[in-house]
C-alpha cells in the first residue's frame, strides 16, 4: 500500500512539475492567440473605417467628377463648333474663353472656395442655418468683384493687341468677350451655390443638373450655328444660357425644399461681417488663381520660342489631355475640402487626419493609373487630336512630362483641398507665389532659353521647380500638422463667422 501511495505521489509530482515547466509556453500561446485576435479585429476595424471614409469621399467626388467634366465639355463643344465657322472665329473664341474668361474664372472660383471652409466647418459643427447666410455673403462679394473685373472684357481688344495678338484676331476676340459678360456674372452665383450643396454632401443634384444642361448646350449650339446662323455670337449666347441654367436649376432645388435645414430664405444677416468674408475669399482666390494661371503662362512662354508652331500644337494636345484628367483631382480637391472641414468643424482632429490620408491615397492611385496609361500609349494618344507627323512626334517626346504632370496633379490638388478645409488659404497663397513664380517660372526660363532646351526645358523647369516643390512643401505641412489644434481653431472659426441666433428673414 505504501508503495502504491509513493507511486501515486511521484506521478502527481511529475504532473505538477510538467505543468510548471509548460505553463510559460501555455501562457505565451494564450497571449499570442489574444494578440492575433486583437490584430484581426484591428485590421477589420481599419478596413471598415477606410471603407466608410471612402464612401463619404466618393459621395462628393463621384458626382463632382461628372459635373466638372460636363462643364469642361461645354467649352470643348463650343470650341469645336467655332472651328467650323472659320480660323479667325476659332482663334477669337479660344483666346476670349481661355485668356479673358479663364483669368476671371480662376479668380472667382478661388474666391468661392472660401465657402468650402466656412460651410464645411459650419455643417460639421451643426450650425446649419449659417450655410445659407454664407452663400448669400459669397453672392454679394463675388457679384461686386465681377464689376471690378469688367474692364478686362471692355478693353480686351487693346489688351490683346498690346501682348502681340494680330489685329483681326484681337478685334474679334474683344467682340466675343463683350458677348461673354453674362457668362462672367453667372460665375458669381454658380460657384457659391455648388459649394453650398457640396458641403452638405448634396452633390448628386449638381451632377444631374450639369449633365442635363450639357445636353441642352449641345442642342443650343447646333441651333444657333446651323439652324439660326448667328455665328460666333450664337455660341456665346449658348454658353451664357447654359451657365445661367446651371444656377437656376440648382437654386430651384434649394429654394423648393431641397435644403430645408440650411436654406430658409434671404436674410439681412448676409450683409454683416462682409469684410472678414472678403479677406478669406480674397486669400482663397489668390491661392487658386495662381495655380490656374501657372500653366497658361507655360503656353505663352512656348509661343515666344522660335519656330514654335509645332511645339505649341503639341503642347496644346498635352494640355487638353491634362485638362480632361485634371477634372478628377479637382473633384477630389472639392471632396477633401468638404470632408476635412466637416471633421474639423465637429471638433474631430483625428477624423480630419484620417480623411486626408484616405483622399491622398485614393487620388494618388488614380494618378498612377493614368500616368501608366500615358507612358504605355505615349506614341498613340495624340492621334485623337492631330494627323500631323511632326506634331505626333513632338507629343511623343513630351509624353513623359505629361505623365509626371498628371501624377503630381493627382496629389497637389488634394493637399490644396486640405488647406481649403483647414482655412490655410492665405498661408498657401504665399507658398504658391514662392514655388510657382519665384522658383518654377525662372527655372523654366533658364532651362528653356538660357540652356536652349525649348519646350521640354520650359515645361520640366516649371514642373520640378514649381509643382513638385509646392507638392513637397504642402505634404510636409500636412504631415506635421497638429490636427487636434486645428480642430480647436475650427470651432473658434465657426463661432467667429456665425451667430447662434436665428437670422431675420426677408423672404
* pLDDT tens-digit readout, 302-320: 655 665 567 766 776 787 7
Per-residue pLDDT, 36: 45
Of 431, 504, 424, the closest CA to residue 471 belongs to 431
pLDDT at 16 over 70: no
Supply the mean pLDDT for the chain: 79
Per-residue pLDDT, 488: 81
Residue 503 DSSP symbol: P
User: Which has the higher per-residue pLDDT, 172 or 499?
Assistant: 172
Q: What contacts 24+ positions apart, CB below 8 Å, involve 368-376?
A: 368/407, 368/410, 370/325, 370/328, 370/406, 370/410, 371/403, 371/404, 371/406, 371/407, 371/410, 372/403, 374/321, 374/399, 374/402, 374/403, 374/406, 375/399, 375/400, 375/403
Highest mean pLDDT: which range of 5-19, 304-318, 433-447: 433-447
User: Which has the higher per-residue pLDDT, 236 or 451?
Assistant: 236
Per-residue pLDDT, 238: 93
Q: How many CB atoms lie within 10 A of CB 265?
A: 12
Q: What are the distances in angstroms from CA 18 to CA 10, 11, 15?
A: 12, 10, 5
Q: Which three cell numbers stand for residue 277?
A: 468674408
Q: Which three cell numbers stand for residue 265?
A: 430664405
pLDDT at 441 over 80: yes
Of 113, 119, 110, 112, the closest CA to residue 199 belongs to 119
Kindly report the pTM of this predicted structure.
0.74
Average of pLDDT values for 182-194?
93
pLDDT at 223 over 90: yes
Summarised one tens digit per residue, pLDDT across range 455-503 is 888 888 888 888 888 889 888 888 888 888 887 877 776 776 665 444 4
pLDDT at 251 over 90: yes
pLDDT band at 507 (very low <50, low <70, confident <90, very high): very low
Per-residue pLDDT, 308: 58
Per-residue pLDDT, 490: 73
Tell me how far apart the alpha carbons of residues 132 and 138 are, in angstroms, rounded to a whole number: 10
Phi/psi at 424 (5° precision): -95, 20
Summarised one tens digit per residue, pLDDT across range 363-421 is 899 999 999 999 998 888 777 666 778 878 888 888 898 999 899 888 888 888 787 76
Per-residue pLDDT, 365: 92
User: Which has the higher per-residue pLDDT, 256 or 494?
Assistant: 256
Amino acid at each position: 500500500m505504501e508503495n502504491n501511495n509513493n507511486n501515486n505521489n511521484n506521478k502527481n509530482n511529475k504532473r505538477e512539475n510538467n505543468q510548471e515547466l509548460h505553463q510559460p509556453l501555455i501562457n505565451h500561446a494564450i497571449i499570442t492567440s489574444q494578440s492575433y485576435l486583437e490584430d484581426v479585429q484591428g485590421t477589420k476595424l481599419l478596413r471598415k473605417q477606410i471603407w466608410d471614409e471612402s464612401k463619404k469621399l466618393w459621395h462628393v467626388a463621384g458626382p463632382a467628377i461628372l459635373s466638372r467634366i460636363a462643364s469642361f465639355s461645354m467649352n470643348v463643344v463650343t470650341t469645336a463648333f467655332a472651328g467650323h465657322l472659320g480660323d479667325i472665329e476659332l482663334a477669337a473664341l479660344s483666346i476670349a474663353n481661355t485668356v479673358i474668361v479663364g483669368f476671371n474664372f480662376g479668380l472667382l472660383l478661388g474666391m468661392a472656395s472660401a465657402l468650402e471652409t466656412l460651410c464645411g466647418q459650419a455643417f460639421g459643427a451643426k450650425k446649419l442655418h449659417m450655410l445659407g447666410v454664407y452663400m448669400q455673403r459669397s453672392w454679394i462679394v463675388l457679384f461686386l468683384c465681377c464689376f471690378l473685373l469688367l474692364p478686362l472684357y471692355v478693353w480686351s481688344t487693346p489688351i490683346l493687341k498690346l501682348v502681340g495678338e494680330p489685329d483681326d484676331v484681337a478685334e474679334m476676340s474683344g467682340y466675343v468677350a463683350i458677348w461673354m459678360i453674362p457668362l462672367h456674372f453667372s460665375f458669381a452665383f454658380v460657384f457659391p451655390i455648388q459649394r453650398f450643396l457640396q458641403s452638405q454632401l448634396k452633390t448628386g443634384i449638381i451632377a444631374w443638373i450639369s449633365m442635363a444642361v450639357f445636353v441642352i448646350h449641345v442642342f443650343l449650339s447646333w441651333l444657333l450655328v446651323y439652324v439660326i446662323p448667328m455665328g460666333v455670337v450664337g455660341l456665346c449666347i449658348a454658353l451664357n444660357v447654359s451657365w445661367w441654367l446651371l444656377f437656376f436649376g440648382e437654386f430651384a432645388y434649394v429654394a423648393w425644399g431641397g435644403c430645408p435645414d440650411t436654406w430658409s430664405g434671404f436674410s439681412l444677416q448676409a450683409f454683416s461681417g462682409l469684410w472678414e468674408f472678403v479677406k478669406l475669399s480674397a486669400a482663397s482666390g489668390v491661392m487658386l488663381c495662381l495655380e490656374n494661371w501657372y500653366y497658361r503662362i507655360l503656353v505663352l512662354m512656348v509661343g515666344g520660342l522660335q519656330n514654335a508652331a509645332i511645339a505649341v500644337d503639341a503642347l496644346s494636345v498635352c494640355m487638353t489631355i491634362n485638362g480632361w484628367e485634371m477634372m478628377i483631382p479637382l473633384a477630389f480637391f472639392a471632396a477633401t475640402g468638404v470632408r476635412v472641414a466637416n471633421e474639423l468643424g465637429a471638433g474631430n482632429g483625428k477624423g480630419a487626419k484620417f480623411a486626408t490620408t484616405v483622399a491622398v491615397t485614393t487620388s494618388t492611385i488614380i494618378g498612377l493609373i493614368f500616368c501608366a496609361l500615358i507612358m504605355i500609349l505615349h506614341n498613340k494618344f495624340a492621334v485623337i487630336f492631330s494627323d500631323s507627323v511632326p506634331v505626333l512626334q513632338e507629343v511623343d517626346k513630351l509624353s513623359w512630362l505629361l505623365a509626371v504632370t498628371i501624377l503630381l496633379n493627382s496629389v497637389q490638388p488634394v493637399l490644396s483641398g486640405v488647406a481649403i478645409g483647414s482655412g490655410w488659404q492665405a498661408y498657401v497663397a504665399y507658398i504658391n507665389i514662392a514655388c510657382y513664380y519665384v522658383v518654377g517660372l525662372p527655372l523654366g526660363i533658364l532651362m528653356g532659353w538660357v540652356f536652349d532646351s525649348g519646350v521640354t526645358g520650359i515645361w520640366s523647369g516649371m514642373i520640378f521647380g514649381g509643382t513638385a516643390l509646392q507638392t513637397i512643401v504642402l505634404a510636409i505641412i500636412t504631415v506635421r500638422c497638429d490636427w487636434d489644434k486645428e480642430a480647436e481653431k475650427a470651432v473658434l472659426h465657426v463661432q467667429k463667422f456665425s451667430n447662434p441666433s436665428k437670422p431675420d428673414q426677408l423672404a
